[in-house]
Amino acid sequence: MKTLPQSERPLNGLTVVDFSQFLSGPLCGLKLADLGARVIKVERPGVGDLCRNLYISDTDIDGDNSLFHAINRNKESVAADLRNPDDRAALVELLKTADVMIQNFRPGVIERQGFGYDDVRAINPRIIYGSISGYGEDGPWKDLPGQDLLAQARSGLLWLTGSADDAPTPMGLAVADMLAGNALAQGILAALVGRGIHGKGALVQTSLLEAMIDFQFEVLSTHLNDGNRTPKRSSVNGAHAYLSAPYGVYQTADGFLTLAMTPSLKILADLIDLKGLESFYDDTAVLMTQRDRIKAAIAAQIVTRTTAEWLSVLQPADIWCSEVLNWNEMRETDAYKRLDLEQTIVRNGTVRLETLRSPIRYNGATLKCDRAAPELGQDTDRVLAPKRPHNAAP
């Protein structure tokens, strides 16, 4: 696929000043950068974003870990000491012409530094100020660490995931950080549209907890409207507490098969040559009330043949099913290759990192960009030096 030129990207010409660290805030900045915004990352001199050294593997790329490279590509970096008057003055001058500011510190931290929303709005009334907290700006949890696993645990997601007898199970991703970053990006984009209509800036806020609750809005809405009954997870091949048999993941002779929707239990049973469930055919309610019994019977039959054999039988009959792929298997599929999702970014002309592009396409073109994550402070002189007081004209 072709790559959309920077000049044609929808946020080209907008400037984002990003004070955030780790994942949620920088992920928001990444989304805006891919859409064309200029994102200036503000980091502490000599230390930088602590994510530079938060290793999730033993892969080091040009002094930074792969996680930092993935989240902070396509950005600029300035090193500024918020205790230094010249650096603070330069940041104030930068914010005067910025369109967006992002921060994700605990409530009260950025305010003590003089860059809270009220301070920044006084500098630039049209700014869109994006803020992510752990659990909101007040209340008994506001000062607790806003960390992904902790937010998953407090939101109910760990309890909801897995089968009935499983221990609380976290997702294998930093899902709270990712969803909060995407939610903030969505809110900032809406605020930018609103500013184009009425000319006013805005404070856009979300939290890891709000993002996790929103992630569960479908099932929580059911919970809130059926007497607050606690849903029962399936004891067999659990996949969704509110969905009936056969919904789940089943072991085959050589792998795993997911089963989602089916026209009827009878059609599925006939296709897989399953006997003994005939008394359930005319009562759709039993798909939930007898969920474990039905799924156990299906599981015993599915394990007798290979995944490919079952797909050849079930897919032509409009049974919604899929093989379970690992990353290497997924990347070998034609469907994955046709989407052209991977890209190579380069630092200093020699250091290469393989990563993924934005999932958004505009006018048939992708939002790829080969600009690597910046070295700490590599853009400080170019961005801040002209704005420092001692450089001002007499």
Q: What is the DSSP string of 270-316?
A: HHTT--S-GGGTT-TTHHHHTHHHHHHHHHHHHTTS-HHHHHHHHGG
Q: How many domains does the chain have?
A: 2
Question: Per-residue pLDDT averaged across 221-230, rounded?
Answer: 91
Which run of H or of E encompasses 12? none
Domain span at residue 287? 256-323
Within a domain: 197: yes
- Whether 344 and 277 share a structural domain: no
pLDDT at 81 over 80: yes
pTM confidence score: 0.93
- Whether 46 and 137 share a structural domain: yes
Name the token pair of 84: 């230094």
Within a domain: 222: no
- Whether 182 and 37 share a structural domain: yes
pLDDT for res 23: 96
pLDDT tens digits for 82-112?
A: 999 999 999 999 999 999 999 999 999 999 9
Residue 68: band (very low, low, confident or very high) from pLDDT cuts 50, 70, 90: very high
Lowest mean pLDDT among 59-63, 221-225, 282-286: 59-63
Within a domain: 241: no
Domain end point (choices 323, 348, 363): 323
- Whether 38 and 92 share a structural domain: yes
Distance CA 40, CA 355 (A): 21
Within a domain: 266: yes
Beta-bridge mates of residue 358: none
- Whether 200 and 275 share a structural domain: no
- Whether 260 and 210 share a structural domain: no
Within a domain: 90: yes
Residue 394: band (very low, low, confident or very high) from pLDDT cuts 50, 70, 90: very low
- Whether 14 and 101 share a structural domain: yes
Within a domain: 1: no
Coil, helix or strand at residue 321: strand
pLDDT at 393 over 50: no
- Whether 285 and 361 share a structural domain: no
Residue 177 bears catalytic tag: yes
Distance CA 137, CA 158 (A): 24
Question: Degrees (nearest 5) of the Cα angle 119, 122, 123?
Answer: 90
pLDDT tens digits for 325-380?
A: 999 999 999 999 999 999 999 888 888 889 999 999 999 999 999 899 999 999 99
Residues whose CB falls within 8 Å of the CB of residue 237, separated by 6 or more in sequence, listed in order: 163, 248, 249, 250, 295, 299
pLDDT for res 55: 67
First to last CA, the chain: 52
pLDDT at 57 over 80: no
pLDDT for res 377: 97
- Whether 155 and 53 share a structural domain: yes
Across 293-325, b (16+ Cβ under 10 Å) vs e yields: bbbebbbebbeebebeebbeebeeeebebebee
- Whether 355 and 299 share a structural domain: no
- Whether 67 and 124 share a structural domain: yes
Name the token pair of 203: 């404070």
DSSP string computed for 225-260: TTTTPPPPPPSSS-S-TT--TT-EEEE-SSSEEEE-
Asked whether 272 and 319 are in contact (CB, 8 A), the reply is no
Nearest to 20 by CA among 213, 206, 152: 206
Question: For residue 164, what is the domain's CATH number?
Answer: 3.40.50.10540
Which of 18, 64, 99, 177 is labelled catalytic?
177
Beta-bridge mates of residue 256: 251
pLDDT at 190 over 50: yes
